Structure 1
Amino acid sequence: MTDERPGPSRDTWPIAVCMHGFSALNAGGASVHDAPAEAWDGMFAQLAGLGFSAVELADNFIRPADLEPSRRDELQAIARAHGVRLLSVHVQRKSVIEPGRGEQNLAYAHRTIDAAAELGLTVFSTGLHQPFTAAQQAALWFWTAQGPVDPADADTRRLAVSRLRELGRHAADAGLPMSLEMYEDTYFGTAESAVSMIEDIGLANVGLNPDIANLIRLHRPIEDWRELHAKTLPYANYWHVKNYARDEAADGTWFTSTPTTLELGLINYREVVAQAIDLGFRGAFLLEQYGGDSLGVCATNQDYLRSLLPAAGE
């Protein structure tokens, strides 16, 4: 996952923005996925206006695998007209070991890889997180309620490794890296387990998305963020970045967290970005934010993140 070649510079390093700042449904209840070209045009105009030059297609907004070829062409043309690159696709909450839907989700992921290659995307990203539980849907912040938990039995873990290796080989054939997102209560929910999964999959194009912020926001005891990064960054090939302010009682009786900027949260990104680059990380970043003006915070975070990256010639 690490790369000894010189990396891009501060001004050229690929940094994409998430789509969380848009509603997945319009006022009439229609999906963004099915929206007319005018609606897509308005979205990309906003992104360009905020200074973003790349976007991750999250499949809860737009599913490249389920777009007709003409609509894929339309999406690409609209993005290019605004100077925004379709950088990556993220398949989320469609685990290949989800009970009753694993095989269906696997087939969908294969179709997404094909669509990503046709669109010229540069990263296929996914993970093992599953759809929200009713409690998560009802919570103010979904991470404060218990979600699905990957089973501890060895057979299910072997199935996860086998199916993810199958996707990784397909991605490699399509010329794409595959990145697997760290997420609580999955086989990518701790540093040790995530690294073990990557090593067992055993493909050069398959690495980690070390989204440690998914873990530090939990209202429970957590691993130290420095140790999490130290163990996982050597395997990173794509990186969702966000941050949370966190507080907790010394006796473990309460925990709290809230979204904030990259600069102000618990994780010191100045420290871990430098560490990642020293380790050879050359992958793209993806800016995420929940709550408030998501796009506005991501714009602030982009400026901060670029300030942490090496200038040309350094």
Structure 2
Amino acid sequence: MSTAELTAETWPIAVCMHGFAPVGPDGVALHDAPAERWDAMFAEVAALGFTELEIADSHIRPADLEPGRRAELLAIAREHGVRMISVHVQRQSVLEPGREQRNLDYAHRTIDAAAEMGMDVFSTGLHHPFSEAQRRALWFWTAPGWRDPDDADTRALAVARLRELGTHAREAGLPMALEMYEDTYLGTADSAVQLIHEIGLDNVGLNPDIGNLVRLHRPIEDWREMHATTLPYANYWHVKNYARDAAGDGSWFTSTPTSLELGLINYRQVVRDAVALGFRGPFLMEQYGGDSLGVCATNRDYLRTLLPRP
């Protein structure tokens, strides 16, 4: 089936891994867990009606799995009718001080692993590891973290390294999606779009995760304008929503996670707009707090009502 023929029933909608603990009660990381634990994870994904999963490298690092374990992971997923549709490399920026080359090499290895495992998207960004304040906060986005410097040379370095990764992804047959994230060169709509132009590769697009910006406890761009600017460049999409409130005088801001239907962003509007603009990439259901997996399933069902019918 070509991407042009995607419908509400066939559009790939994946679930995130936030609902699974990266380290088990026994202290064993999910990455290193025995097959039984992987089996339980995919069984739960399938029981919720998902047939696609995004592998987050906070939980499992395909690049660091031995070939036999990669094969084992694929086999278990297939047994449950689940495809690992994408891999998301997070908080391993190619600009992280002291780790730039290590992170770049790791991203290259992840592209190779994603291609070997038959994934459809390589997703990454420029966000850094949590600051100590973010690790202590109830919601990490309420505390200060890394800021990409307002420096032309550093931005040019980011462009060069991301272009290198994008070129590799293209050679591997993969699109590369760059996730929007505050205080990075992907932190505003205009800066993110300009970065795509600077990279200049047709397989490199945006993951217009405007939810990352709507949740901030500070002034933000209008969500409608951000989507209008970024959706023409979207090739993969993390979707989530937040209830947001702010004082009229700008003295306070607050947000909390909620469902796609109830939050500030009107997904009925922006999904319609994206499809009209030619978006045909996979969606990724993402949710923080509470029953993340359950909310992702609810959001998936809602999203399908917004997508084209045959």
Question: Could you state the TM-score of these two structures normalised by the residue count of structure 1?
Answer: 0.98
Say which of 63, 80, 84 aligns to 2:82. 84
Identity of matched residues, %: 73
Aligned pairs for 1:1-314 (under 5 A) are: 6-312=4-310
1:264 aligned counterpart, secondary structure: coil
1:286 aligned counterpart, secondary structure: strand
Distance 1:260 1:94 in 2: 27
Q: Deviations over 1:105-139 (max 9, x none)?
A: 00000000000000000000000000000000000
Q: Extract structure 1 runs of 4+ deviating beyond 2 A.
A: 4-7
Deviation at 1:281, TM superposition (A): 0.3
Higher relative CO (CA 8 A, sep ≥ 6), structure 1 or 2?
1
Deviation at 1:217, TM superposition (A): 0.1
Q: Deviations over 1:218-252 (max 9, x none)?
A: 00000000000000000000000000000000100
Specify the code of the residue in structure 1 equivalent to 2:130.
F
Query: Structure 2, unaligned stretches of length 5 or more?
Result: none
Query: Structure 1, unaligned stretches of length 5 or more?
Result: none
Specify the code of the residue in structure 2 equivalent to 1:221.
P
Deviation at 1:311, TM superposition (A): 1.1
1:156 aligned counterpart, secondary structure: helix
1:6 aligned counterpart, secondary structure: helix
8 Å CA contact retained: 1:261, 1:297 = yes
8 Å CA contact retained: 1:88, 1:125 = yes
Q: Deviations over 1:13-44 (max 9, x none)?
A: 01000000000000022100000000000000
Distance 1:184 1:90 in 2: 17
2:305 aligned counterpart, secondary structure: helix
8 Å CA contact retained: 1:136, 1:142 = yes
Distance 1:302 1:278 in 2: 20
Distance 2:102 2:212 in 1: 26
The alignment of Structure 1 onto Structure 2 pairs a total of residues equal to 309
Specify the code of the residue in structure 1 equivalent to 2:279.
F
Deviation at 1:6, TM superposition (A): 2.4
Specify the code of the residue in structure 1 equivalent to 2:99.
R
Structure 1 residues 254 and 7: CA distance shift in structure 2, 3 A? farther
Distance 1:285 1:146 in 2: 28
8 Å CA contact retained: 1:7, 1:282 = no
Distance 2:266 2:101 in 1: 39
Q: Deviations over 1:59-114 (max 9, x none)?
A: 00000000000000000000010001110000000000111111110000000000
8 Å CA contact retained: 1:128, 1:187 = yes
Distance 2:186 2:11 in 1: 26
Question: Could you state the TM-score of these two structures normalised by the residue count of structure 2?
Answer: 0.99
Deviation at 1:206, TM superposition (A): 0.1
Q: Deviations over 1:190-238 (max 9, x none)?
A: 0010000000000000000000000000000000000000000000000
Structure 1 residues 5 and 118: CA distance shift in structure 2, 3 A? closer
Specify the code of the residue in structure 2 equivalent to 1:57.
I
8 Å CA contact retained: 1:242, 1:261 = yes
Distance 2:67 2:190 in 1: 41
Distance 1:85 1:118 in 2: 13
